[in-house]
Amino acid sequence: MRPPRLANRYAFGFIAAAILPMALVGLVVGFSLSAYLDQELRGSTRSLIESIALETGRYFQNARDHLLVYAGLLDGGTALRELAGVIGTTQRAHDEIRRIFVLAPGGAVALAAPADEGLEGRDMSGIRLAGLELGGNGGEGGFSRAFLSPIDGSVTVYAGVGLRDGGSVVMELDLGSVSAFLGPLRIEARDEIALVDERGRFIAHSDQENVRLQRNETAFGPGVYGERRLEDGRGRWLVRAAPIAGTPWRAIYYKETSRQRDIISSVLGVAGLVALSCVVGAAALGLGNSKALRGAVAAFSAGVRSVAEGDYAAVIPPPYAELSELSESVAKMAGAVAGREASLREAVAEREQLLKEIHHRVKNNLQIIVSLLNLELGQHPDGPAAAPLEDSIRRVYAMSLVHQLLYANERLDRVDVADYAGRLVSYLSGALGGPLDAVDLKAPEGTVIPPDAAVPFGLALSELVSNAYKHGASPDGTHRLSVSISVDQGELALAVRDEGPGLDEAPPEDGAGRGLGVTLVRALAAQLGGSVAWVRRKDGPGTAASFRFPKPA
């Protein structure tokens, strides 16, 4: 029996849903209108605030350009009297310029325009401008914080640049003209435009009452730009902020959105009523189709899951005719995966065998080196090279033991710490100059580390045990050592304690005055990203050596 066609079920569902197109059209139109109005609103607000920020930036840049011209004239040797004439021409063309000062080094007024005998000689060194300390060469100069003028209560700001001789040129600007400039730029009468300083206080506003009352901007925090939506007792607003180039201030546009929101709400309300009946009918059809589809997918998924779990011979009967080709493709894929898995298993087995052989040969080569060193030691048992040869033999054996363990293990990517340490300490007990009377070894079972960490760990263990044997004999001549290995806060900690006379002082960090062993252990600790330390034991005679490094995952 042929399975039912999934396409037929969905065809009937789409035909039934098409009976109520007005519902879909209403929803599409409503949401499209909402998205369009919102996009237009945001786009126009963004473009306008960027233009306003650009224009106001030019407004302030114009004042700065004048100051740079004056500074250039003064630095070029122009007399103050000649500069006063140039300044007067500028002031007559720009009502926003209240005064211009030339300050001598130290901040005293050398020239005031318009002329004011009461200002000449006054100390104005207390003025602070962003990017400029008056009395020094200020480069491009800067602006002061905006403040209320004590003369008429208007918002005023100082702009200034430094001179080469340590003096300054300062301009006092009336920001009231900026507020008058902002008003006509609004899209609608209810919109608002403002400039705010670095503290969030209005310094210019299309409604100058906000400036006179020293109100603060509330949509953004100080220094924040971007876009926000704000709702208050006066309406709903789309607020956009942009930086004003060359100043620490921002331009902010408050776009009143109530009318646009009302249009969208009205359209969506009508569309919602029309679409309600469509939703009810479509929901019934959707539930039926969804239930049928879920059952089909569940049955098909169960078969695919069997294949994924390794049953490559599993047969996946298609619940619908359209899934027949997919079912056949899964069967072909399962056969291909089975073949590839067999090939991979064979390749992995060959690789593991090759790695085992490599470790075996490395171990044999290291054993040959040990034998050669032993032959050399036998030729000079009492010579000055005997001790270094013995140390070298122990170090090579410590490395050789890692490859021996890897060759004997099923896993080639890990070394058991307890097994490795036990074998190495057992070897050292017989390889040192005399027997170890007692060795107490404690190591956690099941702790493993990769081979690239096992080699430096084993070398460090060999060096610390050998050093404890050489320098940690008890007063009665016996050698009793304690070796403990633990995992502490993600670190592998090795501690070697003896019962000898103890250290007078710990080896210096740079290894000065110490042998190769200390230098080697410090290098091994650095290689593993860990640390090593020697201290006099507090629980009895002797020295305690601590070697710690982060335990590899």
* Tokens 């042998």, residue located: 515
Is this prediction's pTM over 0.85?
A: no
| Whole-number Å distance between alpha carbons of 295 and 311 | 22
pLDDT the model gives residue 122: 84
Beta strand pairing call for 438-442 and 480-488: parallel
Beta strand pairing call for 202-205 and 491-497: unpaired
Output the tens digit of pLDDT for each of the chain's 553 residues.
Answer: 666 655 556 556 656 665 666 666 667 776 777 777 778 778 888 888 888 888 888 888 888 888 888 888 888 888 888 888 888 888 777 777 888 888 888 888 888 888 877 777 888 777 766 545 544 444 566 777 777 776 666 788 888 888 888 888 888 888 777 777 777 878 788 888 888 888 888 888 888 788 778 788 888 877 788 888 888 877 788 888 888 887 888 888 888 887 776 666 776 676 666 656 665 565 566 566 666 766 776 777 777 777 776 676 666 677 667 667 777 777 777 777 777 777 777 766 677 677 767 767 777 787 788 788 778 777 777 777 777 877 888 888 888 888 888 887 777 788 898 888 888 888 888 777 655 655 677 878 888 999 989 999 999 999 998 888 888 778 777 778 888 889 888 899 999 988 888 776 656 665 444 578 888 999 999 999 999 999 888 877 888 999 999 988 7
227 Cβ neighbours under 8 A, 6+ residues apart: 42, 45, 46, 238, 239, 240, 241
| Whole-number Å distance between alpha carbons of 387 and 431 | 12
395 Cβ neighbours under 8 A, 6+ residues apart: 459, 462, 463
| Whole-number Å distance between alpha carbons of 394 and 374 | 11
pLDDT the model gives residue 19: 65
Please count the other Cβ atoms lying within 10 Å of the Cβ belonging to residue 386.
16
Please return the burial class of 451, using the count of CB atoms within 10 Å of its CB with bins 0-12, 13-18 and 19+: middle
| Whole-number Å distance between alpha carbons of 289 and 267 | 31
Residue of 198, 197, 254 lying closest to 228 (CA atoms): 254
Residue 27: half-sphere exposure toward Cβ, Cα within 13 Å: 12
Is 198:222 a contact under the CB 8 Å cutoff?
yes
What is the 8-class DSSP label of residue 145? P
Is 237:229 a contact under the CB 8 Å cutoff?
yes
Residue 108 vs residues 67, 111, 159: alpha-carbon distances, Å: 18, 9, 16
pLDDT the model gives residue 112: 85
For the chain, the straight-line distance linking the first and the last C-alpha, in angstroms and rounded, comes to 56
Please count the other Cβ atoms lying within 10 Å of the Cβ belonging to residue 486.
14
Is 492:449 a contact under the CB 8 Å cutoff?
yes
| Whole-number Å distance between alpha carbons of 210 and 314 | 78
pLDDT the model gives residue 542: 85
DSSP H or E run through 258: helix 258-308
Coil/strand/helix, residue 253 = strand
Please return the burial class of 42, using the count of CB atoms within 10 Å of its CB with bins 0-12, 13-18 and 19+: middle
pLDDT the model gives residue 524: 92
pLDDT the model gives residue 549: 94
User: What's at 56, amino acid-wise?
Assistant: T
Alpha-carbon dihedral sign for residues 362, 364, 369, 370: positive
